[in-house]
Structure 1
Amino acid sequence: MSRFRGLFHRRGSLFVALCVATFWQFCDGIEARSEPAEKPNVVFILADDLGYNELGSFGQEKIKTPNLDRLASQGMRLTQHYSGNAVCAPSRCVLMTGKHPGHAVVRNNREAKPEGQWPLPAEEVTLAKKMNAIGYTTGGFGKWGLGGPSSTGDPMDQGFDRFFGYNCQYHAHSYYPSYLWSDRAKIALQNDPEIPGHASLAKDADPADPASYEPFKGTDYAPDRINAQTLEFVKANQDKPFFLYYPTVIPHVALHVPDEDLKPYHDLGWKDPPFTRSKGYGYTPHFTPRAAYAAMITRMDRYVGNVLDLLDELGLADNTIVIFSSDNGTTHLEQEVDYEFFDSVGELRGLKGSLYEGGVRVPTIVRWPGHIEPGSSSDRISGFEDWMPTLMEILNDEPASEDADGVSLAATLKGQEQSPRKPLYREFSGYGGQQSLRAGDWKAVRQGLTKKGIKTELYNIKEDIGEQNDVAAKHPKIVARMERAMKEEHSPSEVFPLKPIDN
């Protein structure tokens, strides 16, 4: 009997131990299933026509951008990042589709009546659609420019669950419009009449009198409305993963900004000659254009700060990837935006509309706490087409397809070594027709493609960041390789032909 009790005791202990072990394994399984790793939110903020050197963290000395400078101190600056193209719509197309300009559908700005630009086709796979497919709620707030209302390119048909702002780029030339779009409905603003984006001083107006510029001031500032809706989207979706695309219209001209933002720059005593639009060219006049431009950028910075502060307040900052960039370089309209006074592109050559560095190299910042080293920087060559594969790798462990134009930056963002990028190709059918190819330190540029004869320029960007010394004659073999690569990367477009290449 005692032997039986001993056997039962030993076997019972074993049984209890097995039960306990099984119980804890079961609990571990429950914990693993009930608390999966949360997918990070993504906030992509896109400035409009912001130059490479127009943030404090990228060298700006006159314009104050404290919130974006703070973002840079908390994340990584990408110092060789390229926008999708040299002007608005084709650049945004590259960002949204992950296709470089030689393959993208939209390759230039083109208005489509009655409102909007050349539309993305219905079957296009956009970043918003990709985010939707992996469980993200998506919202776009600001300027769209890739297809008018009810077209195939309408943002509500291209993967966005929520849209608020300007659909049409031309409509966005006014910061005091009569309406904005909320999803598929027009929302009236309190601007009666609407302040036009293009207008001139009255014939009898004195250009030296500040009162002459009063007609270009409105009541209901559209960027305020857009920022408010952006914050509402974050609040409404704080308990689930969201993708926030915030393509702000600032600092694209016209020079429209509330008076209260001008005073800090007026107090600096800048010599600030009025922009009068005397020749009928450009956007609406402004009495102090330098102060207005600086104030617009500082106001944009404040909008960014509102988003960052809300992420902190809601406890979302540590689980949110924040990306900031610009759709192209500073505008070439020097009477409205004094890019020399602000040193807007630093040492770079070219402005908006150009495939030289100043037209397409843009200030870019990425913050992801716990993954990206604060205050770091990377000079890896990258471009807008890289964001789709980067985010898909991070969020869904999804490798880019072999024929994808973009290359994931995930390793670089995490501070890991990454092999050199394949050549980065750009083409632009506007402003005379242009092509460029960046391969390592070398950059090939072609200008004036609408004319007979094609000349390829070659620059060593590491030694000549200002693209002042064309060394094509010294390196014919490199030029030949670059020309072959440009030919391979270009696919003909009936809508946006690159003459004379497509003839």
Structure 2
Amino acid sequence: MKQTVVCLILLVGLSAALPTIPHTQQRTPPPNIIYILMDDLGVEEIEIYGRNLLKTPHLSRMAREGLVFTQHYAGTSVCAPSRCALMTGMHTGHCEVRGNKQWEPSGQMPLSPETVTVAEVLKQAGYETALFGKWGLGSEGTTGEPTRQGFDQYYGYLDQVLAHNNFPAYLVRNGQRESLPNEVIWEPKTSFFKGLGSFTPRPTVYSNDLFTKEAVTFLQKRRRNQPSEKPFFLYLSYTLPHNNGEAPKEQRFQAPTLTPYENEPPGGPAWTLLEKNYAATIARMDDYVGQLMTTLSQQGLAENTLVLFSSDNGSTEDIPARFAARNQLRGMKRSPYEGGIRAPLIAWWPGQVKPGTSDHLTGQWDFFATAADLARVKPASKTDGQSIVPTLLRRKQTPAPYLYWEFHEQGGWQAIRQGNNKLIYKVRADAYELYDLSRDPAEQTNLITHTPDVAAYLKTLLASARTPSRDFNFGK
């Protein structure tokens, strides 16, 4: 069934001209696509969105040379459902995995065989597909394993709990566990995660360094204009700066070194070890971006490769207060407010994407349609997203009719945004909140009783935006 669906996507797509790519570009090979996804990186934590305390020179260069989206959103406010939205093009009112549901004996709820991912569509369109990093949509041997969901190869964490530890005991390569020389301490089996959580007191090998090495090696095997070379889709899913809740507090953020924050700040109050480690993870992340951009340029691939940089949700609740003190957006991870679901998005494609900013409203479920558009195939079935290729190429684009999110922990919530109006429904409390983000981006003034007509319309839209789920219905 799954193979039939993917083939239908391609048959329909290959019979239609791509409306958003110029005719002159139609004769060129479809572009390579790299999607860099960070983990719990709040939109206000990096320099290009106003965070001056932590320097990110490579990301800043990417932003100067590319397009910065100021109104971009994650799939939702936690890992697995956000990644499901990214991979399937369906928002959390329609996608299969709508929450962080643990699976036995380990890992999270796997994608079903019928689910069509962006990797499958691109693979069938002739792309080589690879995943390095965190997955969270099915462990080895399940129907959600990456090689059963369109990836030719993968290396990394399949289980999100194991991914809490950046110095793990092992990683998984194409279904096989590869041990690492890190001596970890496992939580007892009576703990919340049933013994799957761990920390490493004397760390040796850093997983994110390995992911970058894999990605650089993957790119170094390719050169521009080789006739036999397939286009590629590289999904690089880092675990930074996600905390390790199973570690002692001072070790909840770990980097291999404290560079460049060993002596921070000169002449001021000393930073704690936790603060230095957190800042060092951001610096490490930025260095990875620099390595990738350099490798693309060296291999002659930059001008035919679209690189997207984003994060799966807002800042972790454990972010040191020093780095969140000046945040203007309300809320963090797990929150329906902007600080929980707003995400960075930078698009870099030299010669195609012109530098600047865009306030076009986008959600991560737009990636599926965008990738299919670039690959010159047209999905046979409707997704919740829209291709943002017109926006990337600086053409006018009709905004999406609305953006929708839901969350299934802590009593549950739903949220919907149409234009500048955003409605939040807190399920257990049976309470609504309404905000005008153009006037109140910090969501301080609840307008639910002030604009009843707007509230009534958005309540109806909110109720129609989701379909029932066997596994995720707010505990009902």
TM-score by length of 2: 0.86
Q: Is the 8 A contact 2:180 2:205 kept in 1?
A: yes
What does residue 370 of structure 1 align with? 351
Quote how far apart the aligned CAs of 1:230 are: 1.3
Q: 2:159 aligns with which of 168, 191, 205?
A: 168
Distance 2:454 2:110 in 1: 37
Structure 1 position 130 matched with structure 2 position 130: no
Instruction: Identify the residue that residue 252 of structure 1 maps to in structure 2.
Output: 242
* Alignment correspondent of 1:384: 364
Question: What displacement does 1:220 show?
Answer: 1.2
Shift of 1:269: 5.8
Distance 1:260 1:455 in 2: 44
Task: Give the Å deviation of 1:259.
Answer: 2.8
User: Larger relative CO (CA 8 A, sep 6+): 1 or 2?
Assistant: 2
1:318-357 paired onto structure 2 within 5 Å: 318-333=303-318, 337-338=319-320, 340-343=321-324, 346-357=327-338
Matches within 5 A, 1:276-355: 288-333=273-318, 337-338=319-320, 340-343=321-324, 346-355=327-336
Partner of 2:375: 395
Question: Based on CA coordinates, which of the two structures has the bigger radius of gyration?
Answer: 1
Is the 2:258–2:280 contact (alpha carbons within 8 Å) kept by the matching residues of 1? no
Question: Is residue 235 from structure 1 mapped to residue 220 from structure 2 by the alignment?
Answer: yes
CA distance in 2, matches of 1:61, 1:269: 18
Question: 1:53-452, aligned counterparts within 5 Å?
Answer: 53-191=44-182, 193-194=183-184, 216-238=201-223, 239-254=229-244, 255-261=253-259, 263-264=261-262, 266=264, 268=266, 271=269, 288-333=273-318, 337-338=319-320, 340-343=321-324, 346-374=327-355, 376-396=356-376, 398=378, 401=381, 403-447=382-426, 449-451=427-429
RMSD: 2.1
Identify if the C-alpha distance between structure 1 residues 40 and 265 changes in structure 2 by more than 3 Å, giving closer, same or farther: farther
Query: In proportion to residue count, which structure has more helix?
Result: 1
Distance 2:326 2:408 in 1: 23
CA distance in 2, matches of 1:102, 1:185: 34
Select 1:493's aligned residue among 466, 469, 472: 469
Identity %: 39
Q: Cα distance, 1:355 vs. partner? A: 1.3
CA deviation profile, 1:286-344 (whole Å, cap 9, x unmatched):
xx1111111001101111111111001000001100000000000112xxx22x42237
Aligned pair in 2 of structure 1 residues 325, 358: CA closer, same or farther (>3 Å)?
Answer: same
Partners of 1:108 and 1:215 lie apart in 2 by 28
Inter-partner Cα distance in structure 1 for 2:267 and 2:104: 44
Aligned pair partner of 1:472 in 448, 452, 455: 448
Q: Secondary structure at the match of 1:42?
A: strand
Aligned equivalents of 2:263, 2:149: Cα separation in 1:
40
- Alpha-carbon deviations, 1:192-211, whole Å to 9, x = none? x225589xxxxxxxxxxxxx
1:137-185 residue CA offsets vs partner (Å, 9 max, x unmatched): 0000110000011000001110000101111100011111111111111
Q: Note if contact 1:424-1:439 (Cα within 8 Å) is conserved in structure 2.
A: yes
How many residues align? The count is 429
Q: Distance in 2 between matches of 1:464 and 1:267?
A: 34
Contact 1:177/1:195 (<8 A) preserved: no
Greater shift in the superposed pair: 416-425 or 319-328: 416-425
2-structure distance, mates of 1:195, 1:73:
43
Could you give the per-residue CA deviations for residues 437-474 of structure 1, whole angstroms, max 9, x where no partner exists?
00001000112x134xx222110000000000001111
8 A Cα contact 2:265 2:271, kept in partner: no
**What's the CA shift for 1:265?**
5.2
The answer to whether the Cα contact below 8 Å between 1:52 and 1:346 also exists between their aligned partners in 2 is: no
Deviation at 1:113, TM superposition (A): 2.2
Counterpart-to-counterpart distance in 2, 1:364 and 1:377: 10
What pairs up with 1:18-29 in 2 under 5 angstroms?
none
Once residues 56 and 273 of structure 1 are traced to their aligned partners in structure 2, the CA distance between those partners, rounded to angstroms, is 19
User: Unpaired segments of 5 or more residues in structure 1?
Assistant: 1-34, 199-213, 275-287
For 1:39, the equivalent position in structure 2 comes to: 30
CA distance in 2, matches of 1:270, 1:215: 31
How do 1:447-458 residues align onto structure 2 when only pairs under 5 Å count?
Answer: 447=426, 449-451=427-429, 454-458=430-434
Is the alpha carbon distance of 1:75 and 1:273 closer, same or farther for their aligned partners in structure 2, counting shifts above 3 Å? closer
Measure how far apart 1:267 and its partner are: 5.1
* Partners of 1:252 and 1:383 in 2: CA distance: 21
Deviation at 1:39, TM superposition (A): 1.4
Identify the residue that residue 48 of structure 1 maps to in structure 2: 39
Gap regions ≥5 residues in structure 2: 1-25, 189-198, 224-228, 245-252
CA contact (8 A) 1:265 1:294 kept: no
Q: Partner amino acid for 2:164?
A: H
In the alignment, the residues of structure 2 paired with residue 397 and residue 159 of structure 1 have an alpha-carbon distance, to the nearest angstrom, of 16
Q: Secondary structure at the match of 2:423?
A: strand
Which contiguous aligned blocks of 4+ residues in structure 1 show a shift greater than 6 angstroms?
none
Shift of 1:88: 0.4
Question: Aligned AA for 1:386?
Answer: D
My pick for the range that moved more, 76-85 or 36-45, is 36-45
Length-normalised TM-score, structure 1: 0.82
The one-letter code matched in structure 1 to 2:71 is Q
